[in-house]
Amino acid sequence: MAQIDIKNVRKEFGTFTAVQSSSFTIEDGEFFMLLGPSGCGKTTTLRMMAGLELPTSGEIYIDGEEVGMKPASERDIAFVFQMFALYPHMKVGQNMAYPLRSQGMSKADTNKRVLEVARILGIENILGMSVGGLSGGDRQRVALGRAIVREPKAFLMDEPLGALDAEFREHMSEELRALHDRMGATTVYVTHDQLEAMQMGDKIVVMNHGVVEQFGKPQDIYNWPATKFVAQFIGSPPMNFLDFKGKVAAGDKSIKLNDIEIEIPVLKTGAEGEISLGVRPEHIHFSDKSNYKGRVVATEYLGTNQLVTLETANGTIKARTESTKLIKTGETIGLAFDARTLSIFEGESGLALPSQANEGVLQHG
Amino acid sequence: MSFSVTEPSRRQKWIAGSLVVGYALITLIPLLWIIATGFKSSADSIAYPPKVVFQPTVEGYVNLFTTQTRMGEDLRAEPREDLPWYEQLVREKGNTIVGASRYSERFFNSVIIGFGSTFFAILLGTMAAYAFSRFRVPLKDDLLFFILSTRMMPPIAVAVPIFLMFRNLGLSDTHAGMILLYTAINLSLSVWLINGFIDEIPVEYEEAALIDGYTRFQAFYKVVLPQATTGIASTAIFCLIFAWNEYALAVLLTSGTAQTAPPFIPTIIGVGGQDWPAVAAGATIFLVPVMVFTILLRKHLLRGITFGAVRK
């Protein structure tokens, strides 16, 4: 098992820059998520770790060894493809044995090892089947099996659950996480699904347009997004922005929103111009005492809770509240915010302003 | 007009069936006629009205494989029970066998040149197609178009320059020359067809093999080739059919050592009158290898032709 270090890695395809100078570290044994919308460079980054693409510049270290320019076959990592990429002309057992045979392992040892791994995955009964007739879940297990048999330094997975249907995904993601915990293998997992990332990951890197936007624990990223992009990409519905024009300075404890004072975490730096106050839907409370008002435009019933769409002087926002609360469309409600949960973003760059609350977790690529 | 996915009615099946049988008959009759003529006697083969029922004989085949000459009166009178059956057959006509004909040599030339050129067209075509499909080849589209453009005129159009080139290079009437020529002509077809087949194979399979510890070349022949067999097999059939049947260039460039069967078969007519049964026998035997090859690869051929039409 291994630690993976990505240092200033950059990848260009002709004139298009897929990944811009990214750096982060994947600790030994971590379940690490590369998260971002399609085309953000997450898969390219993963493929560079695997050796399927060579970086234009920068270094990749696996266990302290620089492997950036080494061919995939010499890196001792396993890769799980979204489309599984099981060799269609081989049986399940042969597929799983294939990486071992390349290392020159004897037939007897190979069979023993394949059977061992098949037992872990619960697929020992299908080893003799051809891969064509397998269900999505079994294909996925075989692909995992092929990755596991070799006991590689790390597992790299490119949206491995992307080809499964929703119901089965849930089950498989639990299985995958359990497998990881059992083996303690360093795993890098690419996904565009923020829920999956938060559910499964020890750590998340959020990428956009080839840039690492933020890198950290799921809770930190959710609570203290480093950029407006992260704030909107993570969470469903996303973080609300209350936009205003004005000026904030280091040491400020509050801002004026539509002439109403709202407490915020103590700022470490200031900004001027377009500024946004970021607040998660579940952190908006309804309080008649509050002077900051919003008019209810719509409500969505979601079982245990409901989403309330409100129009305010600073834009439309969504709040999450218990579904037992009776809220009528058209009524005007006072909105209260908890100072400990708010973020301030600079409008133009979209960066979060460091404050007492988030300074420990803000990390930009 | 409406389409239904239900089982066709008996009537519809009957109509479809008779259409297929009718079409098969139309295409098969000339073939059957040739095969039948091979077993007719010389007289039956030119009888008018044509004979459909006749006394079969292998005279044509014996004539095809032998060179004969007329016997003198004295020799003819002498009964020779010790001679093999084919000598007896020839003696009945007052002839005697003086040696083997050149047919088997020419046939063997066809086998060497046909299969040889197919082998090289497929070998080079597969490697070129793989490169075009998987690597960033500069001017890829232009190169592919250029390769295709060699197919835009009939090969016979360049017969004269090829004839002169072959003469200067000493390639006229050589096996190597004919293999080279047919390979060159077939290569554009094989590059294009196989390129299409390899494009359809997801790159992930090779990438998986690379990560599993195999080199690029190992990934190519252990993972890509087994999946491209369908395409390669059908391409091989097309290449073989062309090289096997090619007539015009063979007439022009070969006359002796490397002459293939197509230009040779018509010359049989001239030996001892119009010996149609021998010609038909030569044509029948000539049909066999392509037929066997096609039947062996039949499954691949059908899948190959419809490849890409249906998404898996």
The C-alpha atoms of residue B133 and residue B208 are separated, in whole angstroms, by 17
B202·A79 Cβ contact <8 A: no
- Provide the H-helix boundaries in A122-200: 136-148, 166-183, 194-200
Residue B129 included in any domain: yes
Q: Does B116 score more than 90 pLDDT?
A: yes
> Which of A62, A102, A134, A140 would you mutate first to test chain B, the one with the most B CBs within 10 A?
A102
User: DSSP character for B196?
Assistant: H
Residue B178 included in any domain: yes
For residue A91, the cross-strand partners are A130
Range of the domain at B112: 104-305
A87·B215 Cβ contact <8 A: no
The torsion angles phi and psi of A299, rounded to 5 degrees, stand at -130, 145
Q: Does B242 score more than 60 pLDDT?
A: yes
CATH number at residue B208: 1.10.3720.10
B302 vs A181, higher pLDDT: A181
Report the residue of chain A nearest B210, measured CA to CA.
A73
Count of CB atoms situated within 10 Å of the CB of B22: 10
In 3D space, the residue among A269, A275, A283 whose CA is nearest the CA of residue A223 turns out to be A283
Among A206-215, B248-257, B266-275, B276-285, the range scoring the smallest mean pLDDT is B266-275
- What pLDDT score was predicted for residue B177? 95
For range A289-309, the mean pLDDT: 92
Looking at the complex, report in whole angstroms how far the Cα of residue B83 sits from the nearest Cα belonging to chain A.
57
**What is the overall mean pLDDT for chain B?**
87
Residue A159 CB contacts under 8 Å (≥ 6 apart), including other chains:
A43, A82, A190, A191, A192
A81·B212 Cβ contact <8 A: no
For residue A247, the cross-strand partners are A272
A215 vs B8, higher pLDDT: A215
- What pLDDT score was predicted for residue B4? 58
A89·B226 Cβ contact <8 A: yes
Tell me the CB-side half-sphere exposure of residue A365, using CA atoms within 13 A: 26
Across the interface, of A51, A88, A102, the residue whose CB is closest to B214 is: A102
Residue B32 included in any domain: no
Count of CB atoms situated within 10 Å of the CB of A338: 11
B210·A51 Cβ contact <8 A: yes
- What pLDDT score was predicted for residue B309? 43
B129 touches A at CB < 8 Å? no
The C-alpha atoms of residue B178 and residue B186 are separated, in whole angstroms, by 12
The C-alpha atoms of residue A26 and residue B149 are separated, in whole angstroms, by 53
- What pLDDT score was predicted for residue B245? 93
Across the interface, of A78, A83, A102, the residue whose CB is closest to B204 is: A83
- What pLDDT score was predicted for residue B184? 94
In terms of DSSP bridges, do strands A203-208 and A31-35 run parallel, antiparallel, or are they unpaired? parallel
Tell me the CB-side half-sphere exposure of residue A264, using CA atoms within 13 A: 29
B46 touches A at CB < 8 Å? no
Q: What is the pLDDT of residues A219-269, one digit of tens each?
A: 999 999 999 999 999 998 999 999 999 889 888 898 988 888 899 999 998
Looking at the complex, report in whole angstroms how far the Cα of residue A198 sits from the nearest Cα belonging to chain B.
27
In 3D space, the residue among A150, A204, A141, A152 whose CA is nearest the CA of residue A178 turns out to be A141
For range A45-50, the mean pLDDT: 93
Q: Does B81 score more than 80 pLDDT?
A: no
Give percent above pLDDT 70 in chain A: 99
CB A250 within 8 A of CB A267: yes
- What pLDDT score was predicted for residue A2? 86
Report the residue of chain B nearest A47, measured CA to CA.
B207
B211·A51 Cβ contact <8 A: yes
The C-alpha atoms of residue A87 and residue A89 are separated, in whole angstroms, by 6
Number of domains in chain B: 1
* B7 confidence band (pLDDT: 50, 70, 90): confident
Q: How far apart are the first and last CA of chain A?
A: 25
Among B76-85, B203-212, B280-289, the range scoring the smallest mean pLDDT is B76-85
Kindly give the interhelix angle for B225-245 and B103-134, rounded to the nearest 10 degrees.
Answer: 140
Residue B138 included in any domain: yes
Among A291-300, B182-191, B300-309, the range scoring the smallest mean pLDDT is B300-309
Q: Label residues A7-17 b or e (16+ Cβ within 10 Å = b).
A: bebbbeeeeeb
Q: Label residues A217-248 b or e (16+ Cβ within 10 Å = b).
A: ebebbbbbbbbbbbbbbbbeebbbbbebeeeb
CA distances from B213 to A104, A120, B223 (A): 10, 23, 13
Across the interface, of A72, A88, A103, the residue whose CB is closest to B210 is: A72
* B270 confidence band (pLDDT: 50, 70, 90): low
Q: Which domains does chain A have, with CATH numbers?
A: 4-223 (3.40.50.300), 238-346 (2.40.50.140)
Residue A176 CB contacts under 8 Å (≥ 6 apart), including other chains:
A144, A160, A161, A200
* B308 confidence band (pLDDT: 50, 70, 90): very low
- What pLDDT score was predicted for residue A360? 77
The C-alpha atoms of residue B97 and residue B282 are separated, in whole angstroms, by 18
Whether the upstream peptide bond of residue B266 has omega within 30° of 0, thus cis, is no
- What pLDDT score was predicted for residue A365? 42
Q: What is the pLDDT of residues B123-163, one digit of tens each?
A: 999 999 999 999 988 999 999 999 999 888 888 888 999 99
**Strand intervals (E) in A271-330:** 271-279, 284-286, 293-301, 305-312, 315-322
Count of CB atoms situated within 10 Å of the CB of A268: 15
- What pLDDT score was predicted for residue B310? 41
The C-alpha atoms of residue A82 and residue A94 are separated, in whole angstroms, by 20
A103·B215 Cβ contact <8 A: no
Q: What is the pLDDT of residues A143-162, one digit of tens each?
A: 989 998 988 889 999 998 88
Q: Which of residues 158-217 of B touch A (CB under 8 A)?
A: 202, 204-205, 207-215
Residue B86 included in any domain: no
Looking at the complex, report in whole angstroms how far the Cα of residue B213 sits from the nearest Cα belonging to chain A.
4
Q: Which of residues 77-116 of A touch B (CB under 8 A)?
A: 77-79, 81, 83, 85, 87-89, 98-99, 102-103
**What is the overall mean pLDDT for chain A?**
90
Looking at the complex, report in whole angstroms how far the Cα of residue A76 sits from the nearest Cα belonging to chain B.
8
Across the interface, of A52, A87, A103, the residue whose CB is closest to B213 is: A103
User: DSSP character for A190?
Assistant: E
Tokens found for residue A259: 């002439």
A72·B226 Cβ contact <8 A: no
The C-alpha atoms of residue B157 and residue B200 are separated, in whole angstroms, by 34
For range B67-86, the mean pLDDT: 79
Residue B180 included in any domain: yes
Local structure of B67: helix, strand or coil: strand
For range A103-115, the mean pLDDT: 91
B212·A83 Cβ contact <8 A: no
One-letter amino acid identity for A37?
A: P
- What pLDDT score was predicted for residue B170? 93
Q: Is A320 exposed, middle or buried (0-12, 13-18, 19+ CB in 10 A)?
A: middle
Residue B27 included in any domain: no
Q: Does B312 score more than 80 pLDDT?
A: no
* B95 confidence band (pLDDT: 50, 70, 90): confident
CB B52 within 8 A of CB B74: no
